[in-house]
Amino acid sequence: MAEKDDSWLTDQADHLIGVTLTRREWAPASVRDDHDHCALCWAKFAKLGLPGELHVGWCTSDMRHWVCQQCVDDFKVRFRWVLNDNPNLEID
User: 63 in a domain, yes or no?
Assistant: yes
User: 34 in a domain, yes or no?
Assistant: yes
User: 92 in a domain, yes or no?
Assistant: no
pTM of the predicted model as reported, rounded to 2 decimal places: 0.82
| Domains held by the chain: number | 1
User: 90 in a domain, yes or no?
Assistant: no
User: 32 in a domain, yes or no?
Assistant: yes
pLDDT given for residue 29 in this prediction: 81
User: 39 in a domain, yes or no?
Assistant: yes
Rounded Cα distance, 66 and 27, in Å: 11
> What is the span of the domain harbouring residue 71?
17-80
User: 37 in a domain, yes or no?
Assistant: yes
User: 4 in a domain, yes or no?
Assistant: no
Rounded Cα distance, 2 and 10, in Å: 14
Per-residue confidence in pLDDT tens, the chain, 92 aa: 444 556 556 666 678 999 999 999 998 888 888 999 999 999 999 999 999 999 999 999 988 899 999 999 999 999 999 999 865 655 55
